[in-house]
Amino acid sequence: MKQTDVCIVGAGPAGAIAALFLAKEGINCILTDKAKFPRDKICGDGISGWVVSVLYELDKDLLLRLAKQPFLLHSYGIRIVAPNSKYIDLPFIDNNPVDQRIPPGFIGRRIDFDNFLIEEVKKKKEIELSEETEIIKYRKNTEGITLISKEGKDISARMVIYANGANSGFMKDPGGIIKDNKYTLTGLKAYYKGVTGFHPQNYVELHFLKKLLPCYFWIFPLPDGLANVGVGLDQYRISKKKINLKEKMLEAIETVPYLKERFANSEMVSKIQAYGLPLWDRKRRISGDRYMLTGDVASLIDPVTGEGIGHAAISGMLAARQAKRSLKANDFTADFMEQYDQSLYDKIGKELNISSKIAKFIKHAWLFNAVVNRTVNSKTLQHRLSLAMTDLEVRQRLKKPSVYLKVLLGR
Ligand X SMILES: Cc1cc2nc3c(=O)[nH]c(=O)nc-3n(C[C@H](O)[C@H](O)[C@H](O)COP(=O)(O)OP(=O)(O)OC[C@H]3O[C@@H](n4cnc5c(N)ncnc54)[C@H](O)[C@@H]3O)c2cc1C
157-187 CB burial, b ≥16 within 10 A, e <16? bbbbbbbbbbebebbeebbebeeeeebbbbb
Smallest separation (angstroms) from ligand X to the CB of 223: 15
Cis peptide before 200 (omega within 30 of 0): no
Smallest separation (angstroms) from ligand X to the CB of 34: 4
**Residue 153, helix vs strand vs coil:** coil
Query: Residues 250, 256, 262, CA angle at the centre, nearest 5°?
Result: 85
Contacts with ligand X by CB under 6 A lie at 9-15, 32-35, 41-46, 48, 134-135, 163-166, 187, 189, 230, 275, 277, 295-296, 301, 306-310, 312
**In angstroms, rounded to a whole number, what is the distance separating the alpha carbons of residues 324 and 328?**
6
Supply the DSSP string of 46-77, one letter for each residue. EE-HHHHHHHHHH-HHHHHHHHT-TTEEEE-E
Smallest separation (angstroms) from ligand X to the CB of 127: 15
Nearest residue (beta carbon) to ligand X: 308
Smallest separation (angstroms) from ligand X to the CB of 240: 21
Smallest separation (angstroms) from ligand X to the CB of 106: 10
Among residues 25, 56, 6, 3, the alpha carbon closest in space to that of 124 is found at 25
Nearer to ligand X, 129 or 381 (CB): 129
Angle separating helix axes 365-376 and 379-390, nearest 10 degrees: 120
Nearer to ligand X, 48 or 375 (CB): 48
Nearer to ligand X, 8 or 381 (CB): 8
Nearer to ligand X, 21 or 403 (CB): 21
- What is the maximum alpha-carbon separation in the chain? 68
Smallest separation (angstroms) from ligand X to the CB of 142: 24
Nearer to ligand X, 40 or 57 (CB): 40
Nearer to ligand X, 77 or 371 (CB): 77
